[in-house]
With several copies, the nearest count.
Chain A
């Protein structure tokens, strides 16, 4: 952060206003694009709003959102439960970390689609398979960032903690984790966005349900206004979750001026 220490916090009101301004700009661009691109590939904002009202009224959108949210939040929660301890352990035990990291990266770099046949055989087409696909997508960024955060722990503070006789667990809880919070939260943000993407992937490649199912339906029948409604719904879910994470971060780093 640059600028003197004192200019650091933008007022929430100002932020709201500039965000709104940017939204209007995006809407204008969208409208222009809808006019320029031929063949109705891009629906107008108005047509999209109408489609949204329609989908909301007949309850389809809400039902799909609920289904997808269940998959998404479940898979993401699993990913957090696995990734945090794994990242921490990898960061804490240097040799273990260095041993596992290449396998973590290898797994992270392998497309989820590639595992779909295997997942279907082992987990079927139902919620287990979907949760696993979401989990696979969200887990890696959290592991990678947590690992990086733990390795960045302040050696002076760790030495201080040793000097008061703190055990490994306590050093983690009191020194290493609080220091890694900004990393972990950036990892959670990335994991949350990728988890959402993978929710759609899961809904397309195992039993077709939820928002992914709607996407396929409207995509294949070229109902672009409805299609855009689904895409925007996904974007809104993404924003809500990452904003919640921002609040969490603000809470966890309230000590910094």
Chain B
């Protein structure tokens, strides 16, 4: 075991208004400490930086997109393993101008995506598909980062785009905009695991107790929040004094089923996610790896053996 702090790399700069806030709150509320692990949060902007941090040894665990992890593994970073997922389903929604009343109105309109083949593009295509709308009937516009997409929508430069609910609620002025497809409908249409916490093999080998302690702390805090949403509201209000408490109160119930009470790692869901991703354009021509090539259930199972599995929450099938 090392005396060094355990560096957990996250891709947000302050506790986000979504369930992945458990990583920040577990630190401020002392969950990590209670599990005996000295966690240091390292904040980066985007998944590529987080991945690079894992590879350089400057991070021990990173919360990253599944697509990026699979890409990295596909090109040779084959010692990375997903061990848990505090935010398996990012609460995405599709927001649009008021003039776009129904998804079918988007035909011929401008729809902003990150870029051709990116996850938000593929996910949105899937969502529109289940609603009977062909995404290719829209003018797709590659705009990049989520906040830029939101700005472009707010500025009236595009007609609709995909964003997380956190981004949506932090938009300062939503006049003239509305939610076209909400997060539940979105997830129902495209049920894929979007983010996982990954660790390199070296950390798994050298600091297994720390990895387990982190997973344990995240499960404990998720269970506490699931049991009492008001706890999350209080903690967030403290962490983000500038956010309207009313907003937090509205958001809290919508996350009722989103907390990763059992670690957020369902083998079936992960397998589906792999298959789905490998059908998208970004992975064209590659063969999907088996689950054990990128997931290690070991640490999570050890934790679950200790804290027990809660039925009716996120499945812990293997």
Q: Do chains A and B touch in the complex (CB under 8 A)?
A: yes
Q: Is A219 close to B, CB under 8 A? A: yes
Question: Cα distance A38–B76 when bound, in Å?
Answer: 9
Are B76 and A39 interface neighbours, CB within 8 A?
yes
Are A124 and B48 interface neighbours, CB within 8 A?
no
Question: Cα distance A209–B148 when bound, in Å?
Answer: 15
Q: Which of A40, A209, A216 contacts B172 (CB under 8 A)? A: A40
Are A205 and B171 interface neighbours, CB within 8 A?
no
Q: Which residue of A lies closest to B112 (CB)?
A: A125
Are B117 and A222 interface neighbours, CB within 8 A?
no
A125 with B158: in contact, given A116-B148, A208-B43 (CB under 8 Å)?
yes
A207 with B118: in contact, given A125-B141, A125-B157, A125-B158 (CB under 8 Å)?
no
Q: Which of A40, A120, A209, A219 contacts B142 (CB under 8 A)? A: A209
Q: Is B154 close to A, CB under 8 A? A: yes
Q: Which residue of B lies closest to A215 (CB)?
A: B13
Q: Is A41 close to B, CB under 8 A? A: yes
Are B173 and A205 interface neighbours, CB within 8 A?
no
Q: Is A171 close to B, CB under 8 A? A: no
Are B57 and A217 interface neighbours, CB within 8 A?
no
Q: Which residue of B lies closest to A121 (CB)?
A: B155
Q: Is B147 close to A, CB under 8 A? A: yes
Are A120 and B144 interface neighbours, CB within 8 A?
no
Q: Which residue of A lies closest to B158 (CB)?
A: A125
Contact partners of B57 in chain A: CB under 8 A: 124
Instruction: Give the size range of A's interface with the partner.
Output: 20 to 34
Are B53 and A120 interface neighbours, CB within 8 A?
yes
B75-118 contact mask (Cβ, 8 Å, vs A): 1 or 0: 11100000000000000000000000000000000000011111
Q: Is B170 close to A, CB under 8 A? A: yes
Are B68 and A220 interface neighbours, CB within 8 A?
yes
Q: Is A110 close to B, CB under 8 A? A: no
Taking CB atoms and an 8 Å cut-off, the chain B residues in 1-29 that contact chain A are 9, 13-14
A205 with B148: in contact, given A121-B52, A216-B115 (CB under 8 Å)?
yes
Q: Which residues from chain A sit less than 8 Å from chain B, CB to CB?
A: 38-41, 116-117, 120-126, 204-209, 213, 216-217, 219-224
Q: Which residues from chain B sit less than 8 Å from chain A, CB to CB?
A: 9, 13-14, 42-49, 52-53, 55-59, 68, 71-72, 74-77, 114-118, 141-145, 147-148, 150-152, 154-155, 157-158, 167, 170-173, 175, 242, 282
